[in-house]
Chain A
């Protein structure tokens, strides 16, 4: 390597700076008998991870007593209008991992908290103070906890803690605070049932914080569904094909996926694939699992739909010289699509609800957010909020299914649009058709798939 003068100059400078830094770091450590290990705060933002100033939270402060030292009292100080008033302090002294029998008394006065110990804390012991119910300065910002301690040599300054990032109050939090104060909320919550399932403060928080989870649920199912439809169609065609091998593959695929719980499939995919060193993003994997699972159900729906087209139509098609694919794509599938729309929509609703199972493997969907909020608050309200989010999507869809079913029934019964100026003769014929179609639909109404065994005897023996 070749050095020029400039390189040597910067090298020297860097060495000098390092030396100074080392000195600066060494000086305070030597002087201190009680080393500040850390100061952290419990997040107190409802449904979030922020530490909000001016609201009750818990400060955890840890320090270690250095060699040959004894500490008899510690005072912690907060900047600005941070306050320890109304707090309760848990004092834990640890030797390694076991608790040492040291008691103490904590006195809070404004921004200072004084803790005196029944006996001095000796060298090597870890002091842990958990101050519940204290407040950080309300304007937010980086908060440094400072303070003093008393050892054999009198009162000394504590090293400042690493700054704790706090934020000023959020509009949502302010709204929750208003609700906390409102008398009707207190009366409402005093009823155990209403307080546990419909706590207004938590409903507000949950509606605000569950949105990302809800959107992810929708995204997963909306992305997964086109793939599911495509896969389902392929397997449906395989299942009715004349090739024995294709039929076998389709039967195994559909039966295994329909015959095992989705929960199990999720576990196998999420825990199994990474073990085979296949690492896929969790959300993508979620889409894949939902798509594969739904495809098995859709395959059955499509197969039933295709086989519900009367044999006569195939015969008519072949008499016109249409090939298999022409028959399928120009004649059978268009009619099938119309017939299966309601059932497919129902299946879509099921898949949408099934995304909730992904919460068990850490996909941040709706249930996961609700679970988080419940585990923090110990209240069931977030689940009720999640239920409402599911209903926002499912209720309109259920309504739509009902409408489409009605329309299809209406048109298949012969009530659909028709050319104008029909004769009395036509009407009489229509009435006849109506009667016979009605009988078929009465059967179909009993069960979504009731028409399947009637049309395909083979189905019954297979399942």
Chain B
């Protein structure tokens, strides 16, 4: 089966070892882009902006149905960010939303978490958040034709699904204290559950519920659009203030040169 000769094998092994070593050593960022002068920063992998997210949050991030590649608003933002910083973008596999902040805090795995993540005080206590790059709100989604309202949902017999660790989850905790909250890994699980009647409602970010109802969950409807005025930011380790500065500089550039507007137009059209 193996066509590797012994010499080839040794070469391959040493190559892999060299790669591993390079990966371990924290390499000083040497971005050649315009935003690089924002300060010194370290990257998990030299020359690459390593991103993590929960890839079940369309239109912000999802996996392509055919190729399985990450795609979405946040993915395009990350690509544009990397371009402005003179880096390549590297996306790691999807992980649960509630593990993103701890992963970034511990460091060593990824440089940034870009995951439709609202800037909150609680998160800022753990990690640095970049400047806001998109506005969002909350929504309550139920099965189309259901007679539920925010008031009727606030009852112990009602099952309200949320994605663990999200602002939607804390909105439900605070505003629907009596409802039975079900914390799930993804918004898709929550919506499928409402579709099949497992749960009575989902509380999630409005752009996501709008997009999902339009694309795949046509038998669900939004009964309440909740103005919260929250804003998404990018999570970066507190040990890496140079990177936060560089990301903020790159975000400002993206707004200025119109690349942010182009990405918004592509994913939200006139909706946002």
Q: Which residues of chain A are near B192, meaning CB under 8 Å?
A: 271
* Distance A380 CA – B103 CA, assembled complex (angstroms): 11
* Distance A199 CA – B73 CA, assembled complex (angstroms): 37
* Distance A60 CA – B183 CA, assembled complex (angstroms): 22
The answer to whether the Cβ of B227 comes within 8 Å of any Cβ in the partner chain is yes
Structural contact, B197 and A375, CB atoms closer than 8 A: no
The answer to whether the Cβ of A275 comes within 8 Å of any Cβ in the partner chain is yes
The answer to whether the Cβ of B249 comes within 8 Å of any Cβ in the partner chain is no
Structural contact, A42 and B102, CB atoms closer than 8 A: no
Q: Which of A210-218, A366-374, A402-410 contacts B (4 or more CB under 8 A)?
A: A366-374
Structural contact, A374 and B121, CB atoms closer than 8 A: no
Q: Which of A90-98, A324-332, A347-355 contacts B (4 or more CB under 8 A)?
A: A90-98
Q: Which residues of chain B are near A271, meaning CB under 8 Å?
A: 192-193, 196, 198
Structural contact, A49 and B135, CB atoms closer than 8 A: no
Q: Which residue of B lies closest to A369 (CB)?
A: B183
The answer to whether the Cβ of B98 comes within 8 Å of any Cβ in the partner chain is yes
- Point out the residue from A126, A196, A275, A376 that lies within 8 Å of B106, measured CB to CB: A196
* Distance A96 CA – B182 CA, assembled complex (angstroms): 29
- Point out the residue from B137, B174, B225, B229 that lies within 8 Å of A42, measured CB to CB: B174
Structural contact, B121 and A132, CB atoms closer than 8 A: yes
How many whole Å from B234's CB to the nearest CB in chain A?
17
Q: Which residue of A lies closest to B139 (CB)?
A: A97
Structural contact, A270 and B173, CB atoms closer than 8 A: no
Q: Chain A CB within 10 Å — which of B173, B174, B199, B228 has the most?
A: B174
Q: Which residues of chain A are near B99, meaning CB under 8 Å?
A: 374
The answer to whether the Cβ of A112 comes within 8 Å of any Cβ in the partner chain is no
Q: Which residues of chain B are near A372, meaning CB under 8 Å?
A: 164, 183
How many whole Å from A380's CB to the nearest CB in chain B?
7
Secondary structure type dominating chain A contacts: mixed
- Point out the residue from B122, B137, B198, B231 that lies within 8 Å of A274, measured CB to CB: B198
Q: Which residues of chain A are near B106, meaning CB under 8 Å?
A: 192, 196
Structural contact, B102 and A362, CB atoms closer than 8 A: no
Structural contact, A99 and B135, CB atoms closer than 8 A: yes
Interface residues in B53-99 (C-beta closer than 8 Å to A): 97-99
User: How many residues on A have C-beta within 8 angstroms of the other chain's C-beta atoms?
Assistant: 43
The answer to whether the Cβ of B208 comes within 8 Å of any Cβ in the partner chain is no
Structural contact, B175 and A40, CB atoms closer than 8 A: yes
* Distance A88 CA – B124 CA, assembled complex (angstroms): 13
Interface residues in A60-79 (C-beta closer than 8 Å to B): 60
Structural contact, B196 and A275, CB atoms closer than 8 A: yes
The answer to whether the Cβ of A413 comes within 8 Å of any Cβ in the partner chain is no
Q: Which residues of chain B are near A379, meaning CB under 8 Å?
A: 102
The answer to whether the Cβ of B161 comes within 8 Å of any Cβ in the partner chain is yes
- Point out the residue from A60, A132, A275 that lies within 8 Å of B174, measured CB to CB: A60
Structural contact, B198 and A362, CB atoms closer than 8 A: yes
The answer to whether the Cβ of A279 comes within 8 Å of any Cβ in the partner chain is yes
Interface residues in B153-207 (C-beta closer than 8 Å to A): 159, 161, 164-165, 169-170, 173-175, 177, 182-185, 189, 192-193, 195-199, 206
The answer to whether the Cβ of B126 comes within 8 Å of any Cβ in the partner chain is yes
Q: Chain A residues in contact with chain B, CB under 8 A?
A: 38, 40-43, 49, 58, 60, 88, 90, 92-94, 96-99, 126, 128, 132-133, 165, 192, 196, 270-272, 274-275, 279, 282, 360-362, 368, 371-372, 374-376, 378-380
Q: Chain B residues in contact with chain A, CB under 8 A?
A: 97-99, 101-102, 105-106, 121-122, 126, 135, 137, 159, 161, 164-165, 169-170, 173-175, 177, 182-185, 189, 192-193, 195-199, 206, 225, 227-229, 231
- Supply 16 further A-B pairs (C-beta < 8 A) apart from A270-B196, A274-B197, A360-B189: A38-B175, A40-B174, A40-B175, A42-B173, A97-B206, A99-B229, A271-B193, A271-B196, A279-B197, A360-B184, A361-B193, A372-B164, A375-B98, A375-B183, A378-B126, A378-B165
Name 24 interchain pairs, CB-CB below 8 A, sorted by A.
A90-B121, A97-B225, A97-B227, A98-B135, A99-B229, A128-B228, A192-B106, A270-B196, A270-B198, A271-B193, A275-B195, A275-B196, A361-B193, A371-B164, A371-B183, A372-B164, A374-B98, A374-B99, A375-B97, A375-B164, A375-B165, A378-B105, A378-B122, A378-B165
